[in-house]
Structure 1
């Protein structure tokens, strides 16, 4: 089992506003929001025939919720290119889906305030089940245009090779 180090200088929990998303060995530009990582295991209830007053519980199937990534609309085609591997409009009958490479493993890295990676999760066999290329447009609004992809996945785990970094400190000038 992995050993977790303890930073005696840090007492505060990490913030949720510094993170990076990586796939195909590259960081994805402009991701501003990542939904939670959540898994749910079904509860299977059963009881013994001689004991009608109580039931026992054991774990059943485990499901992993889809992960949604959001970012501002830019000229970077990464979201659209991946979504087009699942369904490419106009590609011709029988070639709408790229069965060979529509899945990707992704990495989500949480960073501390200094930008050091402190925790990372690997998410396996993701594919785009929903792609929003453009939001509602509103001439009276004052907001960033956001696009998103929803990633179905077959599980995730913490990347235990990421260890707690030594955080920078500043010494007062004399």
Structure 2
């Protein structure tokens, strides 16, 4: 099991506003929101034949929730191109799905206030199950247009190679 260093002088938890998302093509520009990483394990309940008064519980299958990435609408086609690998309308019979490369691994990196990498999670075999190119458009609104993709995945794990950095101390 990996050993993590412990910074005994840090009293505050990490903030949720300084992070980056990386694919095999590099960092994804402009992502403003990433949904939570969530794993759920089913509970299998069973009884023993000689014990009619109680039941036992053990873990069953685990499943990983889809992850949603949101970013402002720009001319960058990365979300749209990835979504089109899963389903390309008008591509012709048998060519609608790009089976060779519609899945990608991604990395979600969390940084401390000083910009040091503190935690990273590897998310495996992601593919786009939902793509929203434009939000509802409203002439009376004062908001940024946000696109989003929903990524199904086959699990994630914390990257043990990322250890807690020595935090910067400034002296006057």
Q: Which bin holds the TM-score, normalised by the shorter protein? A: over 0.9
The CA distance in 1 between the partners of 2:87 and 2:25, in whole Å, is 23
The aligned residue for residue 162 of structure 2 is 162
Q: Structure 1 residue 8: deviation in Å?
A: 2.8
- Aligned twin of 1:71: 71
Q: How many residues align?
A: 172
* Equivalent in the alignment of 2:54: 54
**Paired position in structure 2 for 1:133:** 133
SS at match of 1:41: strand
Partner of 1:99, secondary structure, is coil
Q: CA deviation at 1:25?
A: 4.3
Higher alpha-carbon deviation: 114-123 or 5-14? 5-14
Distance in structure 2 (CA, Å) of the matches to 1:7 and 1:50: 51
Match of 2:29 in 1: 29
* 1:66-89 residue CA offsets vs partner (Å, 9 max, x unmatched): 000000001111100100000012
Unmatched segments (≥5 aa) in structure 2: none
Q: How far apart in 2 are the matches of 1:169 and 1:144?
A: 37
- Show the 5 A alignment for 1:136-147: 136-147=136-147
Deviations 1:34-88 (A, max 9, x none): 0000011100000011111100011111110000000000111110010000001
What's the Cα RMSD here?
Answer: 0.8
Return structure 1 stretches of 4+ with deviation > 2 angstroms.
Answer: none
Residue 29 of structure 1: how far off its partner (Å) = 0.1
**Which position in structure 2 is the counterpart of 1:92?**
92
